[in-house]
Amino acid sequence: MGWFGLGEVVWLGVAVATVAGFIVGYLWYHPRGLGTVWSRLAGVSLEDLRAALVPRSIVSVVVLALTAVVLNVLQAELLVVSVLGGALFGAFVALIFRLAWGLLHGAHESRPVALTIIDSAHDVVALAAIGAVIGAFL
Protein backbone atom coordinates (compact mmCIF):
# COMPACT_ATOMS: atom_id res chain seq x y z
CA MET A 1 0.00 0.00 0.00
CA GLY A 2 2.99 2.32 -0.05
CA TRP A 3 4.37 4.44 2.73
CA PHE A 4 1.03 5.56 4.14
CA GLY A 5 -0.22 2.28 5.56
CA LEU A 6 -2.87 2.26 8.25
CA GLY A 7 -1.44 -1.06 9.45
CA GLU A 8 1.15 0.96 11.37
CA VAL A 9 -1.47 2.90 13.30
CA VAL A 10 -1.64 2.20 17.03
CA TRP A 11 -5.32 2.99 17.55
CA LEU A 12 -5.12 3.20 21.34
CA GLY A 13 -2.29 5.71 20.95
CA VAL A 14 -4.40 7.70 18.48
CA ALA A 15 -7.30 7.76 20.97
CA VAL A 16 -5.08 8.90 23.86
CA ALA A 17 -3.35 11.48 21.63
CA THR A 18 -6.74 12.82 20.52
CA VAL A 19 -7.77 13.29 24.15
CA ALA A 20 -4.43 14.95 24.94
CA GLY A 21 -4.85 17.39 22.05
CA PHE A 22 -8.42 18.14 23.14
CA ILE A 23 -7.29 18.86 26.71
CA VAL A 24 -4.62 21.25 25.43
CA GLY A 25 -7.26 23.12 23.43
CA TYR A 26 -9.70 23.19 26.31
CA LEU A 27 -7.12 24.69 28.66
CA TRP A 28 -5.66 27.02 26.02
CA TYR A 29 -8.95 28.58 24.95
CA HIS A 30 -10.68 28.46 28.33
CA PRO A 31 -11.62 31.93 29.65
CA ARG A 32 -9.08 31.44 32.44
CA GLY A 33 -6.46 30.68 29.81
CA LEU A 34 -6.27 32.71 26.61
CA GLY A 35 -9.96 32.37 25.73
CA THR A 36 -10.99 35.86 26.78
CA VAL A 37 -8.12 37.51 24.89
CA TRP A 38 -8.68 35.26 21.87
CA SER A 39 -12.43 35.98 21.74
CA ARG A 40 -11.82 39.74 21.94
CA LEU A 41 -9.22 39.62 19.14
CA ALA A 42 -11.40 37.33 17.01
CA GLY A 43 -14.52 39.41 17.57
CA VAL A 44 -16.45 36.43 18.94
CA SER A 45 -18.35 36.64 22.20
CA LEU A 46 -17.88 34.04 24.91
CA GLU A 47 -21.65 33.50 24.81
CA ASP A 48 -21.49 32.62 21.09
CA LEU A 49 -18.64 30.21 21.81
CA ARG A 50 -20.62 28.52 24.58
CA ALA A 51 -23.68 28.24 22.34
CA ALA A 52 -21.65 26.38 19.69
CA LEU A 53 -19.79 24.14 22.15
CA VAL A 54 -21.08 20.78 20.90
CA PRO A 55 -20.47 21.27 17.16
CA ARG A 56 -17.06 22.86 17.84
CA SER A 57 -16.13 19.93 20.06
CA ILE A 58 -17.16 17.39 17.42
CA VAL A 59 -15.08 19.14 14.76
CA SER A 60 -12.15 19.35 17.18
CA VAL A 61 -12.22 15.64 17.96
CA VAL A 62 -12.41 14.68 14.29
CA VAL A 63 -9.52 16.99 13.32
CA LEU A 64 -7.41 15.91 16.30
CA ALA A 65 -8.01 12.22 15.55
CA LEU A 66 -7.07 12.63 11.88
CA THR A 67 -3.97 14.57 12.92
CA ALA A 68 -3.02 11.82 15.37
CA VAL A 69 -3.40 9.16 12.65
CA VAL A 70 -1.19 11.11 10.24
CA LEU A 71 1.45 11.80 12.92
CA ASN A 72 1.35 8.10 13.88
CA VAL A 73 2.09 7.02 10.31
CA LEU A 74 4.78 9.67 9.80
CA GLN A 75 6.46 8.97 13.13
CA ALA A 76 6.41 5.22 12.52
CA GLU A 77 7.95 5.66 9.05
CA LEU A 78 10.57 8.10 10.32
CA LEU A 79 11.25 6.01 13.45
CA VAL A 80 10.29 8.83 15.81
CA VAL A 81 9.47 6.38 18.59
CA SER A 82 10.06 8.23 21.84
CA VAL A 83 8.09 10.73 23.89
CA LEU A 84 10.68 13.50 23.50
CA GLY A 85 11.22 12.75 19.82
CA GLY A 86 7.47 12.75 19.20
CA ALA A 87 7.02 16.03 21.06
CA LEU A 88 9.81 17.69 19.07
CA PHE A 89 8.50 16.25 15.80
CA GLY A 90 4.96 17.45 16.47
CA ALA A 91 6.17 20.90 17.49
CA PHE A 92 8.41 21.14 14.42
CA VAL A 93 5.58 20.17 12.07
CA ALA A 94 3.33 22.78 13.70
CA LEU A 95 5.99 25.48 13.59
CA ILE A 96 6.56 25.00 9.89
CA PHE A 97 3.07 24.24 8.63
CA ARG A 98 0.94 26.10 11.14
CA LEU A 99 2.87 29.09 12.39
CA ALA A 100 4.39 30.02 9.04
CA TRP A 101 1.20 29.44 7.08
CA GLY A 102 -0.90 31.03 9.84
CA LEU A 103 1.16 34.20 9.59
CA LEU A 104 0.81 34.12 5.81
CA HIS A 105 -2.98 33.76 5.93
CA GLY A 106 -3.31 36.18 8.82
CA ALA A 107 -1.46 38.82 6.82
CA HIS A 108 -3.71 38.26 3.78
CA GLU A 109 -6.83 38.44 5.97
CA SER A 110 -5.56 41.44 7.97
CA ARG A 111 -6.05 39.48 11.20
CA PRO A 112 -4.35 40.73 14.34
CA VAL A 113 -0.90 39.16 14.62
CA ALA A 114 -1.61 38.37 18.29
CA LEU A 115 -4.59 36.24 17.22
CA THR A 116 -2.44 34.27 14.79
CA ILE A 117 0.24 33.83 17.46
CA ILE A 118 -2.33 32.54 20.00
CA ASP A 119 -3.77 30.06 17.50
CA SER A 120 -0.40 28.96 16.15
CA ALA A 121 1.17 28.58 19.59
CA HIS A 122 -1.81 26.41 20.56
CA ASP A 123 -1.17 24.22 17.55
CA VAL A 124 2.52 23.88 18.41
CA VAL A 125 1.67 22.76 21.95
CA ALA A 126 -1.19 20.50 20.82
CA LEU A 127 0.87 18.80 18.11
CA ALA A 128 3.76 18.40 20.53
CA ALA A 129 1.37 16.67 22.95
CA ILE A 130 -0.06 14.46 20.20
CA GLY A 131 3.42 13.59 18.92
CA ALA A 132 4.63 12.80 22.43
CA VAL A 133 1.74 10.42 23.06
CA ILE A 134 2.18 8.74 19.68
CA GLY A 135 5.92 8.40 20.40
CA ALA A 136 5.11 6.71 23.70
CA PHE A 137 2.93 4.13 21.93
CA LEU A 138 5.30 3.37 19.04
| pLDDT higher at 103 or 80 | 80
Q: Quick one: CA dihedral 65, 71, 74, 76, positive or negative?
A: negative
Burial readout 102-119 (b: 16 or more C-beta within 10 A, e: otherwise)? beeebeeeebeeebbebb
**What is the distance between the alpha carbons of residues 18 and 62, in angstroms, rounded to a whole number?**
9
Amino acid symbol at 82: S
- For residue 108, the number of C-alpha atoms closer than 13 Å in the C-beta half-sphere is 5
Res. 1: pLDDT tops 90: no
The per-residue pLDDT for range 19-58, each reduced to its tens digit, is 999 999 999 999 999 999 999 999 999 888 888 989 999 9
pLDDT value of residue 2: 62
pLDDT value of residue 6: 83
Per the CB < 8 A criterion, the answer to whether 61 and 55 are in contact is no
The per-residue pLDDT for range 80-95, each reduced to its tens digit, is 999 999 999 999 999 9
Name the pTM for this structure: 0.91
Res. 115: pLDDT tops 90: yes
